[in-house]
Copies of this chain bind each other. A is one copy, B any other.
């Protein structure tokens, strides 16, 4: 344990300067961060061809008249000695949405870029997410302030928030802040929604001839913000490795004890990338991937039977234990559950739920069957726990416990039929918050630093409406590519309340993609034979410390 204040603090200061650090935290502070060679040296920014949109380009063109079609940009070395450009900059940075390991390094990267290439520049951190922009709540970042956050987890340097800049009034507030601070640029570190918002801000500023440029950075542990040019979102690598450490431990426990089935729910409501990556890292007996469940139009009964079948098959082989991975958003992928929820919302809004169950007659046949199939605790939860709008709170359902209960019931049935005779003990786990604020892996630390440094370079060159893009990640850092991708090129539209809204579509697990195919080719073996891998705790030095997650490696391999 040591005090960080010793490392440059001058008496009581805000943020972490008075923090007490563990040995590992302290050692990470001075962990060197290599930069891609192109951005270390002298470079120029070269524009690519005009871009289009991910879908409905005509509508995107209407929504972004100034920015639509703009090219992506790539940094190329010029061979000469890097020289400071004369212009000093005023830049703001904001963290938007849920935490992801590495966010502090993006900010460090922007800061160091300004120090290295644009001395005399200013970096403001907006506090508490986009609300900080609207309310003009910020802190000026300097070397002493930033130092204790280098290579550290969390978003607490300036904190984050989930507010959105959406209404004309909110846009006005953002404009006022940018004008007041005389901002040349703004870096928005966020997920799909936040980057869409960043692009709307960029368009708005351009339309109004406000000089502030806007650059996005791809953040989310869920791994669902990616494209050809943005190979991964930061935080995914660290979060998956933290969860996989725990899963590996639980696997060895299962094998040692021989009597538990561990049902592990993993964070990630929209896409199942985390679950897939953890499966590739650890080789569980059963893994449910939401996108596959949806593609195959599976019912909850199908999923339950799939699990139960494997449990029975394993029992015949003498294995009365196992590990099962479940994505947090599983039930959102099951159409019949969505149908039941919407009927329930309708009924709960207008009718009385009588104890005799007469209200159930209002459910359609399929929904009624599903409702009766659900464990009693889940039935009660659906009927009793509502959000402030009176709606059923799907997000509160502990899917892993629901599945344990349904599997128990199914096994009991099979026991009566004589096809199962063992004891079943389910243990439930949810791994979520533990992974969002861990110390970033060497990969995430370096990747984030490059993303931030690149964002600085893009703003310095006058770019706007791009998302910082660092590529060729399978190669040594020296050879990583650096540039910016037109945010409009990632967009499509969705119709909401009769209007077209721009969206960056979440990248879902592709059933034809290399990671899923690898998993699908091995899962039958993992189900029956025990191929558990225990990745162990994340290492910062020595063996394993520079490994990259399987999803990224497989996707890079498939591209190559």
Q: How far is the CA of A517 from the CA of B21 in the complex (A)?
A: 21
Q: A357 CB to closest chain B CB, in angstroms?
A: 17
Inside 8 A of A534's CB, which chain B residues have their CB?
21-22, 25, 152-153, 439
Q: Does A156 contact B (CB under 8 A)?
A: yes
Chain copies in complex: 2
Inside 8 A of A160's CB, which chain B residues have their CB?
256-257
Interface residues of A in 71-128 (CB under 8 A from B): 99, 128
Map CB proximity to B onto A194-210 as digits: 1 under 8 Å, 0 otherwise. 00000000000000000
Inside 8 A of A24's CB, which chain B residues have their CB?
535-537, 539, 543-544
Q: Does A253 contact B (CB under 8 A)?
A: yes
Q: A529 CB to closest chain B CB, in angstroms?
A: 9
Q: How far is the CA of A297 from the CA of B154 in the complex (A)?
A: 39
In contact, B253 and A249 (Cβ under 8 angstroms)? no
In contact, B262 and A533 (Cβ under 8 angstroms)? no
State which of A56-64, A138-146, A228-236, A426-434 sits at the interface with chain B.
A426-434
In contact, A537 and B438 (Cβ under 8 angstroms)? yes
Inside 8 A of A257's CB, which chain B residues have their CB?
99, 160
Map CB proximity to B onto A21-37 as digits: 1 under 8 Å, 0 otherwise. 11111111000000000
Q: Does A349 contact B (CB under 8 A)?
A: no
Q: Does A547 contact B (CB under 8 A)?
A: yes
- Closest-by-CB residue of B relative to A546 is B23
In contact, B434 and A246 (Cβ under 8 angstroms)? yes
Interface residues of A in 383-430 (CB under 8 A from B): 427, 429
In contact, A256 and B544 (Cβ under 8 angstroms)? no
- Closest-by-CB residue of B relative to A157 is B256
Q: Does A20 contact B (CB under 8 A)?
A: yes
Given known A20-B283, A537-B537, contact A438–B249 (CB-CB < 8 A): yes
Q: Does A513 contact B (CB under 8 A)?
A: no
Inside 8 A of A153's CB, which chain B residues have their CB?
249, 252, 534
Map CB proximity to B onto A232-270 as digits: 1 under 8 Å, 0 otherwise. 000000000010011011101101111010100000000
Q: Does A174 contact B (CB under 8 A)?
A: no
Q: How far is the CA of A536 from the CA of B439 in the complex (A)?
A: 6
In contact, A249 and B537 (Cβ under 8 angstroms)? no
Q: A30 CB to closest chain B CB, in angstroms?
A: 10
Interface residues of A in 1-45 (CB under 8 A from B): 1, 19-28
**A256 touches which of B23, B154, B281 (Cβ 8 Å):** B154
In contact, B23 and A253 (Cβ under 8 angstroms)? no
In contact, B156 and A256 (Cβ under 8 angstroms)? yes
In contact, A249 and B539 (Cβ under 8 angstroms)? no
Q: Does A542 contact B (CB under 8 A)?
A: yes
- Closest-by-CB residue of B relative to A530 is B19
In contact, A537 and B538 (Cβ under 8 angstroms)? yes
Map CB proximity to B onto A337-368 as digits: 1 under 8 Å, 0 otherwise. 00000000000000000000000000000000
Q: Does A155 contact B (CB under 8 A)?
A: yes
Q: Does A540 contact B (CB under 8 A)?
A: yes
Inside 8 A of A540's CB, which chain B residues have their CB?
539, 542
Q: Does A528 contact B (CB under 8 A)?
A: no
Map CB proximity to B onto A426-459 as digits: 1 under 8 Å, 0 otherwise. 0101000111111100000000000000000000
In contact, A434 and B249 (Cβ under 8 angstroms)? yes
Among A19, A26, A246, A281, find the residue whose CB has the most chain B CB atoms closer than 10 A: A246
Q: Does A313 contact B (CB under 8 A)?
A: no
**A541 touches which of B262, B531, B539 (Cβ 8 Å):** B539
In contact, B433 and A537 (Cβ under 8 angstroms)? no
In contact, B427 and A1 (Cβ under 8 angstroms)? no
Q: Does A159 contact B (CB under 8 A)?
A: yes
Among A19, A155, A250, A536, find the residue whose CB has the most chain B CB atoms closer than 10 A: A536
- Closest-by-CB residue of B relative to A543 is B27
Inside 8 A of A154's CB, which chain B residues have their CB?
252-253, 255-256
Given known A156-B256, A256-B99, A262-B433, contact A21–B542 (CB-CB < 8 A): no
Q: A546 CB to closest chain B CB, in angstroms?
A: 10
**A543 touches which of B26, B152, B159, B429 (Cβ 8 Å):** B26
In contact, A258 and B28 (Cβ under 8 angstroms)? no
> Knowing that A155-B256, A542-B542 are A-B contacts, what are 12 other residue pairs whose CB atoms are under 8 Å apart, sorted by A's residue number?
A20-B531, A23-B547, A24-B539, A99-B253, A152-B534, A156-B256, A160-B257, A252-B437, A252-B438, A539-B539, A539-B540, A539-B541
The contact sample of 29 A-B pairs, CB cut-off 8 A, is A1-B533, A19-B531, A19-B532, A21-B534, A22-B248, A24-B539, A25-B533, A25-B535, A25-B536, A27-B542, A27-B544, A28-B536, A99-B253, A152-B252, A152-B534, A242-B249, A245-B537, A246-B246, A246-B434, A249-B434, A250-B433, A252-B438, A260-B433, A262-B433, A429-B434, A438-B537, A439-B537, A537-B539, A539-B541
